[in-house]
Amino acid sequence: MRSKKEKVEKHPTDLLEWPVGRLDFSAGCLVMGILNVTPDSFSDGGEFLDGDRALKHGLKMVEDGAAIIDVGGESTRPGSVSVSAAEQIGRVLPVVEALSAKTDVPISVDTCEFEVAKAALDAGAGMINDITALGDERIGELAAERQVPVVLMHMKGTPETMQVEPRYGDVVAEVLEFLLERARRAEQLGVPREMIFIDPGIGFGKTLEHNLLLLKDIGKFVASGFRVLVGASRKSFIGSITGRQDPRERVYGTASTVALCAAAGVSIVRVHDVAEMLDVTKVAAAVDQSDRS
C-alpha cells in the first residue's frame, strides 16, 4: 500500500489543470469512458457510429461519473487495418463538437494521426490518446503547443500483425524502458511532465502471460513518477481466463483488473462500463485512504 508521503513526492499536486481541462486525482483513480465511433470495434463496434447515439452514450458516461471521455474513430483490435485520417475525422469530429458543447468533462481523442488530433483539438477535445506513443512526433509538438495532456501507449508492431507471436526477453522491463524513452522525448518537445501519461498497452502485441505480468508489475510503472493509464476493459485475455466469449460478459473480469490497478496507484483506467468501474475505484480509494488518519 502506498504511503501518503510517497504519493506526495511523486506528484506535487493532485490537481492537473490546463487551458481546456481539469483532472482531480485526490480521490484516487479516475475513470475514462470509451466512446468508439466505429463500425468494427471488438466490443461496441457499430453501436455508436450514429452521431446522436454517440452523443447520448457520451453524456450517459459523464452522468455515470466518467472523468474523461475518449473518442476514437478507428478500431485497433488485433487484425484490424488502419482507417484514413479523413475517415476518422468524419466520424470523430461531429461527436467531439457536440460533446464538448454539452460537458466540461475533458474529451480525449484516441488517434495516432496528427491531422485527426489537430482537428479534434480545434473542435473542443482537450487531450490526445496516442497508441503509438509519438510514432509521429508532431503529436508531441501539438500537445506541447496546446499544453494538453497526452497518453503514450506501448504497442509491439501494428494492430494488423501485433498478435502474431509477440516475444520479449523481459516484457515489463522492455515496455517500461520504451515508455520512459518516449516520455522523455515528449518532455523534450515541451509537454510538461505532469501532462504525460504512460500506458503499457494491454493486448497490443502481448500474449496472455505478457498481459498478466504487466498488470502484476503495474506498480513499477507507477514508481517511474509518470502518471499511468491502463486499458484492460473487456479485452480478450479476460475472455481467455474466464471463458467469456462475448466481450459484454467480461465486466466482472474487468473489475478485477481495475481493482488491482487502482490499488497499485494507477491514475486512470480506460473502460466501457463506467458506473460499475467507478464503484470499484471508489472502494479501492477508500481502502487506500483509510491509513491517512
Q: Does 236 bind ligand HH2 (CB under 6 A)?
A: no
Q: Which three cell numbers stand for residue 261?
A: 490497478
What is the x/- site pattern for ligand HH2, positions 57-76, by CB under 6 A?
A: ---------------x--xx
Q: Are 105 and 143 in contact (CB under 8 A)?
A: no
Q: What is the closest distance, in whole angstroms, from the C-beta atom of residue 92 to ligand HH2 in the complex?
A: 12
Q: Does 199 bind ligand HH2 (CB under 6 A)?
A: yes
Cβ-based nearer residue to ligand HH2, 105 or 179:
179
Q: Does 231 bind ligand HH2 (CB under 6 A)?
A: yes
State yes or no: is 270 an active-site residue: yes
Per annotation, catalytic residue among 77, 118, 206, 235: 235
Per CB under 6 A, the list member of 36, 100, 111, 254 interacting with ligand HH2 is 36
CA distance 169 to 28: 33
CA distance 72 to 91: 8
Q: How far from chain centre, in Å, is Cα 192?
A: 18
- Residue 79's CB is within 10 A of a number of other CB atoms, namely 12
Task: Enumerate residues 102-141 that contact ligand HH2 by CB under 6 A.
Answer: 110, 129, 131
CA distance 121 to 225: 27
Q: What is the closest distance, in whole angstroms, from the C-beta atom of residue 110 to ligand HH2 in the complex?
A: 5
Q: How far from chain centre, in Å, is Cα 279?
A: 18
Burial of 63 (0-12, 13-18, 19+ CB in 10 A): exposed
State yes or no: is 2 an active-site residue: no
3-class state of residue 78 by DSSP: coil
Cβ-based nearer residue to ligand HH2, 202 or 255:
202
Q: What is the closest distance, in whole angstroms, from the C-beta atom of residue 100 to ligand HH2 in the complex?
A: 20
Q: 165 vs 181, 207, 229, CA distance in Å?
A: 24, 8, 25
- Residue 249's CB is within 10 A of a number of other CB atoms, namely 14
Q: Are 233 and 208 in contact (CB under 8 A)?
A: no
Per CB under 6 A, the list member of 93, 95, 107, 151 interacting with ligand HH2 is 151
Give the nearest residue (CB) to ligand HH2: 231
Q: What is the closest distance, in whole angstroms, from the C-beta atom of residue 56 to ligand HH2 in the complex?
A: 18
Interface ranges with ligand HH2 (CB under 6 A): 34, 36, 38, 41-43, 72, 75-77, 110, 129, 131, 151, 153, 199, 201-202, 229, 231, 270
Kindly list the catalytic residues.
Answer: 235, 270
